[in-house]
Each structure stands twice: as structure tokens, then as C-alpha cells.
Structure 1
Amino acid sequence: MAEALETVSRNRCFGGEQRVYRHRSAETGTDMRFAAFLPPQAGEGRRVPVVWFLAGLTCTEENFTVKAGAQRVAADLGLMLIAPDTSPRGESVPDDPQGAYDFGLGAGFYVDATQEPWSKHYRMESYVARELPALVESALPADMGRQGIMGHSMGGHGAITIALRNPGRFAAVSAFAPISSPVNCPWGEKALGGYLGPDRAKWREHDSCALIEGGARVPDLMVDQGTADNFLEAQLKPQLLEAACARAGIPLTLRRQEGYDHSYFFIASFVEDHLRWHAERLRRAPHP
């Protein structure tokens, strides 16, 4: 599979390399891009732990890569960072009919659509959870026995739900301002209704709180939420995740960060804490 990767860019960064790749995806039926930071510890046959970052609405693989400032810490900790795009793209890929930012291009919501016309290309759960990891394992020095996953907003929803839906795969899970319960917010109702249809029982299969209520578990969870986030009350609702974790006995570190908003300034302020959270847990994970 390594030969299927086209290198878009390579830049020396903190002793490692920041790369961007393009490849043809069987899941989405489109060309897809993803960013990969390889720390200096990677190489000479050595595989390093990998942390996935799932971005939010309107984003591409570039937002986290350029704005979060994560590479310095990842280089110090010996972590590979993988940042996929948030949706399929291309002339054949349908977009929101009204051109809204919260559905369609840049808003794949990390689910596999079942409704037309979205089902042909919008298969972001299978892409992120299966196709891309197989490609990364075959082409890059990633230790797939030691994986963490984190994300922001829509990507925070994606990180938590994918971890819950793939028990045992991720040794560490964290999120910045996640959409905690998409079945209970306008963004989620629009996206899940559009991609999955009107049956709300299907939506619950991609809702962190509902999955936890149904018995899905992660060992523990770290979430940062800015108190000045303008999406806090209507869309994010961290109190729902807090209550679900409390009922299930899942240790949740929920840090309400005073005065921080929803932007990458917020993420850049606390990304080191998240990477160190992941590194600590990945060190405990058994080597393959």
C-alpha cells in the first residue's frame, strides 16, 4: 500500500518531518489528503506511538497541522501525529444544498452515510477507523499497538465515538470542546438526520452519551472546554458527557478553561497537556 501514497509536501520540523500525503480512497471514492508528523525518534526500523487528531467543521488536515503548535511537544515525546481531512472532496461530491458550513463538504461528522446522495462518498467512519490506519501502518513507522485519538468540536465527537465503538484500540482519548451529544444539538440533528435518515435510534450509535449509556467504555477521558466558547450552551453541552461518565464510572477529567473560546488559540494553549496525557498512557500500552 505504500506506493499508493503521493507525497504533497515534506518539511523539516523539530528534528522530525511534517508531511502531507494524498491517496485514492476506496471508502470515499475520492482522493483524500492527510498530514503526518514523524518525530525524530521514528526511523531505522523503529516504530513510534501514533496519536490521531480529528478536526472540526469547515476544517481540513491543515488546521491542526499549521495552527495547533503540536509538533514541538510531539517531537519531545516521540509521538507520530496523523490528521485526516474532515470529509471527501471533489467535483462529484455533493455539498449542503444551501451551502451551509455545518453539512456536506468539511462536515463529514465521522459517520458512514446511509442516505442518498451522501452514501456514495461520505464514509468517514470507515475511512478514519479502518482504511487510513491500514495505510498508515503499511507506509509509515507507526506502532499501531500504541494509539491515541483526540479531536476538536465535531472531531471531538468523532474521537470519542470512534474510541467507544472500537474498544481496546486506543490507549488514550481526549477532546477539545467536543460535541458531547449530537442527538441533543442542532449540528448533530442536521448531520445525523441528513446522513443516517430519520430513525433516531441510528443516531444514538454515534452519540458519545448514548454509547456510554449502552455499555461502551474507554479507560478514562480528558476534555478541555472554554467557558467563553460561543457554541457551549447550544451545541457542545459538556454537562451531558459529564453526567454520562459519572453514571458509568468512567474517569473524566473535564477542565473548564476560563475565558477561552472555540478557536485554535484555545487548542494551542492546551495541546501540550493533551499530548502528555496521551504519551503517559501510550507508554503503559504493550508493545506489539
Structure 2
Amino acid sequence: MNRRRVLDTGALRHWPLPTIDAGCDKESRGRVVLIAGSREIPGAALLAAQAALRAGAGKVLVATGESVAMHVAVAMPELRVVGLPETSLGGLDPSGLSQLDTALRRASAVLVGPGMQDEAAAIDLTQALRQRHPELPTILDAAAMGGATREPVAGHPVLLTPHAGEMAHLTGHDKGAVLDDAESAAREAARWWNAVVALKGATTVIADPLGETWVHENANPGLATAGSGDVLAGLMVGFAARGAPLLQAAAWGVAVHARAGDRLGAVGFLASELLAQVPALIGSLAPLDRGRFTPVEQTPSAAQAAPVRRSAG
């Protein structure tokens, strides 16, 4: 049965993120593995990685092309960076996935896709990842989304983040039809792919395979800028690493991302400028990040149940 809800401030306050204890360490805040970037778009990995840390994740490992790995590491000293072999088209060679097995076994969540080139290689890498680590909370963005939609893998749902054009590409439907009925498009895709789907736009629709649907309205054209989607995907994986289920990670990512844009105005800000807005916004939406790290109101529900946390190792 379809359940439609509006994702507004009241909904977020009654659906707080998992608590971060005042005495926590970086291991207990969650580890992110981020597979992203390419020779032409290394900045996508940086935007997503910083967003994950701003969202509260404790540690982030970035796996990117070996030709740009050192540049990414120097640009952001908070990261651990692994260089992977590249294809002739500038993508990440799926053979390099074995280099990440230890990190993936210890990870709390993984994000694949921002800034990746060579769609065929991205799909092969994603499918190999899902086969090797089907239990790992996984967010797929951009070119990596085809790895979940072409041959869905049994196991836990993944989170996909298409805009209307990407949804049309993935489903073979007309983009206009997707825009005309975004809610139906998102629900149908979520059921078919066994995935949480965040169909992005001025009206963003988030649906899970069981029919639960959240709708978020925000028509800020400033968010339609290069790198904005990388920031959004990074927020989602950061929230997932903290222990939020994928549906909640998607909802909070969409809401915080939109509100960060609203704080900066309309057209003219950069995607990187969204990042500094995130910590205060999280605190304003739910007081779990203010000193005691304890929500004022915590209403238990099935939607709040966090996935089993893996060993920090």
C-alpha cells in the first residue's frame, strides 16, 4: 500500500537522526567508502567526501583514479585516498575493487558514482561491489546507477539518486512522462529495482520498495549547478554511515541540501558553498548535535531502526 508523506520541518523533527553520544570517537560515528571522481572530474569526489564529513561521518576513504589520487589527497588532508587503475576512457577499472575489500568490510556505508566516467566500467564495478558486499548500505549516483537497475542483486536495497533525465535513461521512459507523474515514476522504480529512489527535482520524491513515499518541495534554481548533486549524495552517505536507514538518509539529505541552498539565496552560489551551512542546519532541525547529542523527542518507529553496525575492525 502506498503511503505518501510531506517532508517538512515537522516531519524531520519527529524523525531524528541516530544519536551521536557526547563521548563518541570517530570510529563510532561511522566509516564511509567513497568510490568517485575521474581525470576530468576529480572535484566530485572532494565535494561528496566533504559533505559526508559535514553530515557527521567519522572517517572517509576516497577511492579514485590513480592519475588524480595524490591531488585529491593533498586538496583534503582529512581523507584517506586510494588510487585505482583506470580504463582507456577515464573510468575506474573494476579489477581495482579488490584493493578495497578490507575497507569495505569495515565500512558503515558506501557511495559510488559522483564524477565517474566510462559508464560501462562504472556499471561493471557497481555490480561487482554488490555481489561481493550485498549487505553494505550503498548509495549509487550518476553513472553507477545502472549497476543496480540492469541486474538487481538480491539483498538489502540500495539508494539511487536520479534526476528526471537520468530516470528516463535508466527506465527507457520519456523524460516528459517522468516529470508529469514523478511520484508514480519513483514508486514504480523503487519496487522494480528493490531500491530506495530519490527522484530529484523542484519536487523531489523519495520512495522505498514497500510503497512509502516522501515528497519534498523546493524550487530553488540555485541548486541546479555543477557539483550540487555530488554534495547531496555525500550528505546521504554521511547520514547512512551514522546509522540512518537509507530512506531516512535520503530524506535528511534532500532536506538539508535544499535548506542550505535557501540560506545562500537564488542563482550565483557554488556547490562547495553549501557545505559550510550543513552543521548548523542539522542542529536547527533536530537538537541531537548540540552539546549533549540527545534528541529532545525520540519517537521509536520501524523507519528509525538503524542497520546493524559493522565492526570498526
Q: What's the TM-score bracket when you normalise by the shorter of the two chains?
A: 0.3 to 0.5
Q: Compute the TM-score of the two structures, normalised by the length of structure 2.
A: 0.43
Give the number of the structure whose residues are more often strand, by fraction.
1
Give the TM-score, by structure 1 length: 0.46
